[in-house]
Structure 1
């Protein structure tokens, strides 16, 4: 699953982190196996890479210049979170949420995971019997 390419849009990157920081982040991204490039002739940029290279890039940016690269780090971490949520099966996610907080209501489960009430009830039943 780690060979899938992930793409994250970075609107107005130069305006947010500056030209010098953009150049530095491009070099760090290449070392990590990602690519930061401009979308055509617009002011918008994008970053592409796989899951492992995203994690490595995020760690490297946090170590080097966390304040200057805050926008870029936040975008990468948000994308990794949503990507990992999509990989997890809905049943596993429901079970994890119920085990993590046993007092969670069915409505909260449905809101967090966009599942049906039947799926939420099954998850509650499975967690109670576990």
Structure 2
């Protein structure tokens, strides 16, 4: 099976246990809305986890549309979009600079979140935390 090429301008935001959190009907509605706005809301292989893929502008439009629909039923999805869009997207920054910016912006961020957002190793995340916190 050929693997699809990933557009470097696309942002991928993971959505663990999406259907359990918002419900099947709401998920179908969100999936249709995402498709309409040029994003793709899809299940990750055969797991219960989902992801949304799209360009920054499309994801921002999707987030705004969800807020207009009903903020209470899509609150989980809206918060995950906010977190994903807050991550640094400037590829000219080094990993160390990205890690430092994330730690300064969110001092209580976990190492696993740092690793997921910057695609760094555990060692790199620990070194960045120690550097920023001044240990």
TM-score norm. by structure 2 comes to 0.62
Work out the CA distance in 2 between the residues paired with 1:88 and 1:78.
Answer: 21
Q: What residue in structure 1 maps to residue 62 of structure 2?
A: 57
TM-score norm. by structure 1 comes to 0.64
For 1:22-65, what per-residue CA distance to the aligned partner results, in whole angstroms no more than 9, with x for missing partners? Answer: 00000110111100001111111110000000100000000011
- The DSSP-based 3-state class of the residue aligned with 2:88 is helix
Q: Give 5+ residue unaligned stretches, structure 2.
A: 1-7, 95-100, 106-127
Work out the CA distance in 1 between the residues paired with 2:69 and 2:104.
Answer: 34
For 1:84-109, what per-residue CA distance to the aligned partner results, in whole angstroms no more than 9, with x for missing partners? Answer: 5x46969xxxxxxxxxxxxxxxxxx9
Aligned residues: 96
Q: What residue in structure 1 maps to residue 120 of structure 2?
A: none
- Residues 42, 89 of structure 1: alpha-carbon distance in 2 compared, 3 angstrom cutoff: closer
User: Which of 66, 75, 78 does residue 73 from structure 1 map onto?
Assistant: 78
User: Which of 20, 30, 33 does residue 35 from structure 2 map onto?
Assistant: 30
Q: Give 5+ residue unaligned stretches, structure 1.
A: 91-108, 118-130
- The DSSP-based 3-state class of the residue aligned with 1:8 is strand
Work out the CA distance in 1 between the residues paired with 2:92 and 2:65.
Answer: 26
Work out the CA distance in 2 between the residues paired with 1:88 and 1:32.
Answer: 28
- Residues 66, 50 of structure 1: alpha-carbon distance in 2 compared, 3 angstrom cutoff: same
